[in-house]
Structure 1
Amino acid sequence: MLSTLLQKFRGGNSHALFGQVAFMAANLLVFILLLKRLPQEQVGVWGIFMTLMAIVDGIRQGLLQSGLTRQIILSPEREKSLVGTALLIHFAIIVLASLGFYLSSDFLATFWKMPELATLLRQSWKALLTLGTLQGLAALAFAKGQSKNYLIQNLVYFVLLILALGFGISFWVIDLEFLLNIQLLALVPVVIWVIGWGRISVSKPNLKDARELLDYGKFIAGTNLFSLLFQKADLLMIGYFLDPVAVGLFHFATRLLQYIELPLTALGQSIYPKITASYRSGMLTQLKSEYSRSVQLLFALIIPGLLLMLIMHRPLILVMSTEEFLKSVPVLFILAIGTLAKPLGRVSGMTLDAIGHPKVNFLLLLMSVVVNVVFNFILIQKIGLMGAALATSISVILTVIIGQWKVSKYLQFKPFAVVWADLKTNLKLV
């Protein structure tokens, strides 16, 4: 079993994982600075702000990245036109979203009872440009089979962010605006490196390409939107029903788990093209094998992190933050239950997209969002933060179960049974 997983991990998967490690490590530095130097209330404000940024970027990713990857794989000769068109759509989304946040900043700050949120929202273009550009360059690298470039660009961003933070801490006041500026500053050399070394080639945007990208991406964008709402509904509703301190505690717990779930995000970028290629081969056996190996690999990479977190949670929290955040431990443990089911859910969702059923994935997540919001609405008001964690974990598990059934309906095999059978075979070989 170990040799099989290591073989699966080599090459593009290792580049994807370590590239994501570099990206998440950069974000972790910013997050630790936030936890150590700013009050809990501001951690809550940052949590709501970054949640809104993640939702917009999730829509942008859905509209562009899967479709761009698919079209470049199918028609590599059209790469320049496709990239040029995708860049135009990319910047259009950032401009429109930034304008929307600027105009609604006071309303949203009032809604969540966070006056400082308005200041951040008026500068949302900085966060959207940083996050969107890094994710867009990552998608392009994987579409072209250049996972090593993804690793390099994230390492460059990580090193530059360390330098920028070291310089900035010495000369500027540490506040939420500083965190935005420092991330944007670290992005600039990455873009210069990508352009200067010819890692990206573009030509004039094409209307036909735009239609293809948007037509394919519309349901994936919807899926991403509802997936993020599914993940973030708890935080947004805590902000409305409770207070910024509660948001800060919950945001800390979810961010800690996000680092443990890193393989789900990192390897998803390399798993999706492989599942797509397996499906296009027309061989069901190959698709089943790719599906099973992907799920097993994700489980093998997140379970050690979860165990470490459960055993070492107190020193881990104190290293990252302060004693005030130890109050998040019960929430962390309940959310960890839902995390255990996520490898199955992530691969099922990518499979539905890859086999040409993004609408099914979209409708599945729409239903899940409704369930999650209802559970959160009831349980947050009854038992506070614990209710939000419980609602989220229950919703994740229900979604995964239904997702398995949907995959079996379209591909004539039972995903969990295939994974379990392969796992037993691998265990016998150990």
Structure 2
Amino acid sequence: MGKNSYWLKSGFYSMGYRLSVLIFGFGSFYFLIRYFSQAEFGAWALFISITTIIEMSRNGLIQNAVIKLIHTSDPDDEGKIVLASFSINIIYSAVIYALLAGFSGVLSNMFHIPDIGTMFVYYGVTIFFLIPFSQFNYIQQAKFSFSGIFWSTVLRQGSFFIAVLIICLLKIEISLIDLVLVQSACTLVGLICAYFCARRFIHISYVLDGAIVKKVLGFGKYVMGTNICSLVFKTVDQFSVGYFLSPNIVALYNSAIRVSNLIEYPSTSVAEVVYPQSAFRTSSQGDGAAKLLYEKSVGLTLALTLPVVIGTLVFADLIIYVIAGPSYHEAATILRITILYGIFTPFNRQFGTVMDSSGRPQLNFALMLASVFINIASNYIFIQQFGMIGAAYGTLLSYVIVFLVGNTMLTRIFGIEMQQIFHYMFHYYGVAFQFIQKKLKTRLQG
């Protein structure tokens, strides 16, 4: 009962906060794409893509290392681990902001968007708030507590959506730079909530242990590299479109990507629940536990995503018309290609979870680094040949290559069996069908 309770409760909160990101992020997108011109929205899309890379690289450097070390180190070292990670977080944030401020002019010239450099300068306020915000959430995840992460994310994302809604409905005149400051204020709201939810778990030492700092960096450097490579991999197409074509085309392309990215939320939610358990079990039970968790988690995620892929392929034109309007109709063709990424995402995401939790982050990093270069090359070739749609073709080819290489590695190291993954996928469909059948029978009898 205890195990089932953990998976149900953790899964509910993890899926819940990811769902809140999805709903509020999609809601903000829905209104902003109508409020700003295509060029302005293209600039905002590029800004969000770059800041997402920054935030996820921070998570990669610190999050998994904190979780892994807390579960594998002496309990008395927990306070030292928290202090070491917090110190690294501060230094990382300072370096990132210095780079953004220093190269703001270069970024403006690169993407032919004058305001984007200033947007990154003001983004420093958000970076400052994200230092404690992220630390509080890392600690909660290490303690298998997802409720605080859920509520702080809901408040952060929800307050931004409400602000956007008010701006758009009341037709308040606002610049992209002002919108960055609104984002900062909403991050502060989430931070306050995160503190109150995490404070009972916070145990911090006042002595910085150099050996533990090295351990965090030693593990985290690979995961950070992996996260950066993963996000660059997923945004190469948008950056390529922005560099080779124009911000207007970025807006068109981003409208399709926004929809296809929604399919990643089940994979991410499952991975966040699986990782702490995988780290705990592999440390005590070995690689056999990682194999079982991988097969089950991929099977579950595929069961959730395949119906969405099929439905999007059929109704792509209607989806784009509803979410972006008739002026973005060209994006439907892009959507039919990019939604196919969702077939390979569960495999690629859980590959990283298994490699990191089993103490092999360097292999995950190596594959993701190679995938970035593959995607850059394929995007360059396909964009030159086919224009905007070439970015989608090139990225889909890269997903296929990463899946094939990753599956080969997993089979050799863990003995992963593809038929077992599909066995679990159909098993979950059967469980869902029985649940629905039981509910209908109860209603009819009632």
Q: 1:312 deviation in Å? A: 3.6
C-alpha change, 1:273 and 1:237, in structure 2 (3 Å) is same
C-alpha change, 1:189 and 1:425, in structure 2 (3 Å) is closer
Letter in 2 for 1:188: L
C-alpha change, 1:62 and 1:301, in structure 2 (3 Å) is same
**Which consecutive unaligned segments of at least 5 residues does structure 1 have?**
1-5
Equivalent position of 2:437 in the other structure = none
Equivalent position of 1:319 in the other structure = 322
* 1:86-165 equivalences in 2 (<5 Å): 86-129=85-128, 135-165=134-164
Does residue 1:31 correspond to 2:34, yes or no? no
Q: 1:243 deviation in Å? A: 0.7
TM-score normalised according to structure 1 size: 0.90
- What secondary structure does 1:409 align onto? helix
Alpha-carbon distance in 2 for matches of 1:355, 1:388 = 34
Answer yes or no: is the 8 Å Cα contact 1:19–1:152 preserved in 2: yes
Letter in 1 for 2:140: A
Alpha-carbon distance in 2 for matches of 1:323, 1:90 = 44
Deviations 1:350-385 (CA, angstroms, capped at 9, x unpaired)? 111111111111111122111111111111111111
Q: Which has the higher contact order (CA 8 A, sep 6+)?
A: 1
Q: 1:332 deviation in Å? A: 1.0
C-alpha change, 1:161 and 1:56, in structure 2 (3 Å) is closer
* 1:20-419 equivalences in 2 (<5 Å): 20-75=18-73, 76-129=75-128, 135-165=134-164, 170=170, 172-196=172-196, 198-199=199-200, 201=202, 202-204=204-206, 205-282=208-285, 284-411=287-414, 413-419=415-421
Letter in 2 for 1:31: F
Alpha-carbon distance in 1 for matches of 2:267, 2:49 = 18
C-alpha change, 1:162 and 1:227, in structure 2 (3 Å) is closer
C-alpha change, 1:265 and 1:360, in structure 2 (3 Å) is same
**Which consecutive unaligned segments of at least 5 residues does structure 2 have?**
435-446
- What secondary structure does 1:32 align onto? helix
C-alpha change, 1:156 and 1:55, in structure 2 (3 Å) is closer
Q: 1:428 deviation in Å? A: 7.8
TM-score normalised according to structure 2 size: 0.87
Letter in 2 for 1:103: G
Deviations 1:227-255 (CA, angstroms, capped at 9, x unpaired)? 12211111111111111111111122112
C-alpha change, 1:267 and 1:424, in structure 2 (3 Å) is closer
Alpha-carbon distance in 2 for matches of 1:356, 1:285 = 14
Identity %: 22
Alpha-carbon distance in 2 for matches of 1:135, 1:323 = 39
Letter in 1 for 2:15: L
Answer yes or no: is the 8 Å Cα contact 1:126–1:180 preserved in 2: no
Q: 1:168 deviation in Å? A: 5.1
Deviations 1:270-291 (CA, angstroms, capped at 9, x unpaired)? 1111222232232555433211
Answer yes or no: is the 8 Å Cα contact 1:405–1:414 preserved in 2: no
Alpha-carbon distance in 2 for matches of 1:329, 1:267 = 28
Letter in 2 for 1:331: I
Deviations 1:157-192 (CA, angstroms, capped at 9, x unpaired)? 344334444555559523322322222212223322
Equivalent position of 1:3 in the other structure = none
